Chain A
Amino acid sequence: MPTGLDQLQHIVVLMMENRSFDHMLGSLKAVDNRIDGVTDQLNNPDTTGAPVKPQPRAEFQGQLDPDPDHHFPAVDLQIFGGNRASDRQANMQGFVKSYFNQRGDVQHSQKIMYYFKQADLPVLTTLALEFAVFNRWFASIPGPTICNRAFAHYGTSFGRVDMNPFDVIEPYKSIYTRLINANPKRTAKVYYYDTTSSTMEVVNLLQNQPELFGTYEQFLSDCDKGLLPDYSFVEPNYNDHETDSGEQVANDQHPDHDVQAGELFIAEVYMRIKRNPKLWANTALLIVYDEHGGIYDHVVPPSCPPDNFTASANNTGTGMEFKFDRLGVRVPAILVSPWIPKGTVVNRVFDHASIPGTITKFFLGDYAARSPRELNADVFLEPQSSPRAGNNLLSLDSMRTDCPEFDV
């Protein structure tokens, strides 16, 4: 009987914005003890020294204003609790202190510890319980959006830890260029929501290779017609705007955008793939968040082999250089396929470099010109020929027929 991996032809990555694992999926610890979510033992001190526990009081909108700081120095404080000694240990004790720095309001700073109840997020929590949820998927850098998304596109941020435009440095190429230049040629597309939302990878991809891009409407149509490329990267709507078809509410879930709009978006992407039976059978969908957005998570990000680049003390803003030898804060990540056993919990360590790492290994095989970080990143789909094929998450001999449906 062929397994799902033999059938697999399309990989779709949907990257959302700025929410931590504990904030979105932490409630699932109470449902399945294998899921490393929140417990009553966790806390963070506020600026008076009082311990603040995670509480299931997160709201869809209006609570995390101002947007919690998630630039490199703030994340350093969140992870190390404000300790800058050379022998310091990460302790995840600085989230409340960091949020206090923005408004100087002790009560408000405690909201950074809030998480969603399972019933608040029926889409994300259902998919996590029904398919494969990753207990150890981390942002690639303890920093903001652009450099973390760079890891998803290139397997490196080329030494950047900030939001500035970056230059692509040879020999490293984007995953899209690798695929379309391959022999035999592969196909790849970045689907942004629409031209008014556009992409977060403007300076290199959009500016130089606009032909790589399609809209969300085209994604939906490509799903229906069975025209998805080998690899699709889907971006949410990053802003509220109006179009000829009406109001388009931002659905990226970036604070202070509405979290329910993001739930609806995730459900739409999932259902559109599922409604095409042929596509459903041969597609794997990864839902992942680019970084934690300054919101509390309790798992210490592990160290990792350094990249070929170093961010100077001036660039990090912490007075210390960074060799890209530690991952960022943990984020939600779920792999969806009807070939994955229900209730799969993955404990291996991943980060966004695992995305180009997996796509390259799966579609192209050996490919040397990749960053040290990408070469060292674990992959979430092992080719059948790999000696690690036993790690394959699409392990069922027959396709599931009990997968959830959403009313979208």
Chain B
Amino acid sequence: MAVIHVPRPSPKAMNPNRPVSSLLLTQVKHLQHAERRLPLRYRTEIYTHAIRTEGEAATYIHHVTKAIHQAHADASGRRKEGRRPKRGKKIASAAAKPKGKVRKKAAKSKKKTGQRM
């Protein structure tokens, strides 16, 4: 049998500025439902009520889908780590790191930037 040619879509087919469809808005709504159950550090700062285009919906869908996978991967990692006998020591050494100083430095440099302006 001869090989059948499959016509390629027109270059004009791509339009991320197309108004978002009700299907994509539904998908956004379901992802928002899931996002609300994520720990705060995984959540986006995207205001879903302001999503108007397909491209904007795509950005939100991408971030939340990645976040769901990441949150599960992190939980799985912690579960595995929890089985290690030396877990306590690790936490102690992490706590000893001078995180506070780093933050102060960052705050100071911001202030300086502000003074220059």
Contacts and interface: CB of A to CB of B under 8 A. Distances in A.
A67 B21 contact: yes
Contacts of A202: 27, 30-31, 33-34
Contact of A163 (B22, B55, B62, B66): B22
Interface in B5-28: 5-10, 13-16, 18, 21-24, 26-27
A339 B22 CA distance: 40
A206 B65 contact: yes
Nearest to A198: B65
Contacts of B57: 239
A404 B1 contact: yes
Contacts of A302: none
Given A198-B65, A202-B30, A60 B10 contact: yes
B7 A240 contact: no
B78 to A, nearest CB: 16
Nearest to B27: A200
Contact of B27 (A198, A210, A257, A403): A198
B10 to A, nearest CB: 7
A207 B65 CA distance: 9
B23 to A, nearest CB: 6
B3 interface: yes
A76 B36 CA distance: 35
Nearest to A252: B23
Given A241-B58, A258-B10, A407 B4 contact: yes
Secondary structure class of chain A's binding surface, majority of residues:
loop
B8 to A, nearest CB: 7
Interface string A72-109: 00000000000000000000000000000000000000
A405 interface: yes
Contacts of A404: 1, 4
Secondary structure class of chain B's binding surface, majority of residues:
helix
Interface in A218-242: 238-242
B72 interface: yes
Residue among B6, B21, B27 with max Cβ neighbours from chain A (10 Å): B6
Contacts of A200: 23, 27, 30
B69 to A, nearest CB: 5
A329 to B, nearest CB: 17
Interface residues of B, number: 38
B36 to A, nearest CB: 11
Interface stretch (A261-269, A320-328, A365-373, A379-387): A261-269
Contact of A405 (B1, B10, B13, B30): B1
Residue among A122, A197, A207 with max Cβ neighbours from chain B (10 Å): A207
Nearest to B17: A240
Given A61-B13, A238-B23, A210 B68 contact: yes
Contacts of A10: none
A145 B26 contact: yes
A3 to B, nearest CB: 23
A261 B68 CA distance: 29
Interface string A183-216: 0000000000001111110110011001101000
B59 to A, nearest CB: 8
A177 to B, nearest CB: 16
Interface string B58-91: 1101100110110010000000000000000000
Interface of A: 17-18, 60-61, 67, 122-123, 126, 145-146, 163, 165, 195-200, 202-203, 206-207, 210-211, 213, 238-242, 247, 249-250, 254, 256-258, 260-261, 263-264, 267, 402-408
The 8 A-B residue pairs with the shortest CB-CB distance in the complex, in nearest-first order: A258-B13, A196-B62, A241-B58, A202-B30, A261-B9, A198-B65, A260-B9, A195-B65
Interface of B: 1, 3-10, 13-16, 18, 21-24, 26-27, 29-31, 33-34, 37, 54-55, 57-59, 61-62, 65-66, 68-69, 72
22 contacts: A17-B23, A18-B23, A61-B10, A123-B4, A123-B6, A145-B23, A198-B31, A198-B61, A202-B27, A203-B34, A206-B34, A207-B68, A239-B57, A239-B61, A240-B55, A240-B58, A254-B21, A260-B8, A264-B6, A405-B4, A406-B5, A406-B6
